[in-house]
Amino acid sequence: MKSASGEEILTLVFIYSGEFAERVIRNLINDPSFCKSCDLYCDSCKYDVYSYVRHIRAAMQLQDPSELPAFIDEPEKYMPKKIPKADLCVASGLHKDLLLELPHHIQKVGVKGLVVPIEDFIEVPLGLRKQVEERCQELGLETAFPKPFCSLKPAADKPLISRFVTELKVGRPSLEISTTRRDKYEVIDSKIVRRSAPCGSTWYVEKKIIGVETKRELLYDAVAKAHHSYPCTATMSVDPEMKEPILHIGGFTIREEVEKALKKT
């Protein structure tokens, strides 16, 4: 598929269960009914700014893991009957045996990479992640297991996944911020979202810090409140690998990016 300029666009297929992937999809297509966090104060800050609907070949929802047997001997019976060819597959919320089977199925139809966001380590424990990663390597698939999804960054050895981050402008947030003096205080005056968290939370966080004093503790508090209010879908259980709740990792990430943007002002 080509863009209006004649360039090949990156294509995606989502294979998922649960609400998280739907949130990412609705953010990517910029569904006008999606972000309601500001309620009556919504000024449509992100609508008509972008839409990546042409990049999404399919969104295929599978049965919730709670509705399936604990162990699945023939996982192919529960997989999509027909997966369209695409550059990347984003898989979220799947039964462990289906996720383990997925690389084989997507590789057969010409998909070249697999992104598995980890918002809850119980869904994708370390052992399963290593197994899936090994299968992808055997099949020649690019892989990424961002924990959480808003930690995903471009990587020189992963050109397709890097295109996902740079062309669809989602992954680890990237911001531009300007400040002004108000009385004797420096406050945030304006912002530009260059890249958003895949769930869209960056747009909300950045809106809520307009007018906030740049004093660290005040800014940290404003970012944390906005991040929790969106709300982030990552687990609050302590991840055994990260030694922190994954939700906190997401909060630290946007906070670091706000600080980084302030240093450039």
Task: Give residue-wise pLDDT tens across range 8-65.
Answer: 899 999 999 999 999 999 999 999 888 877 877 788 888 889 999 999 999 999 999 9
CA-based max dimension of the chain: 68
Look over the chain and give the mean of its residue pLDDT values, rounded to a whole number: 93
Residue 265: pLDDT band (50, 70, 90) is: confident
Are the C-beta atoms of residues 158 and 144 closer than 8 Å to each other?
Answer: yes
> In terms of C-beta density within 10 A (0-12 exposed, 13-18 middle, 19 or more buried), how is residue 153 classed?
middle
| 166-172 contact pairs (CB < 8 A, 24+) | 167/9, 167/10, 167/55, 168/10, 168/28, 168/52, 168/55, 169/50, 169/194, 169/195, 169/196, 170/24, 170/27, 170/28, 170/195, 170/196, 170/197, 170/198, 171/146, 171/195, 171/197, 171/198, 172/253, 172/257
Give the Cβ contact number of residue 251 at 10 Å.
Answer: 24
Residue 75 clears pLDDT 90, i.e. is over it: yes
Give the Cβ contact number of residue 117 at 10 Å.
Answer: 28
Residue 2: pLDDT band (50, 70, 90) is: low
Q: How many CA atoms within 13 Å lie on the side-chain side of 130?
A: 3
- CATH 3.80.10 is held by the domain 12-167: no
* pTM of the shown model: 0.93
Q: Locate tokens 């508090």: which residue?
A: 221
What is each CA distance from 105 to 70, 72, 77, 215, in whole angstroms? 21, 16, 12, 51
Q: What number is the average pLDDT over the span 243-250?
A: 95
**For the chain, percent helix, then strand, then coil, each to nearest 5?**
40, 20, 45
Q: Which two tokens stand for residue 45?
A: 């800050």
Are the C-beta atoms of residues 91 and 105 closer than 8 Å to each other?
Answer: no
Q: How many CA atoms within 13 Å lie on the side-chain side of 102?
A: 32
Q: Which two tokens stand for residue 97?
A: 């045996």
Domain ranges of the chain: 12-167, 174-263
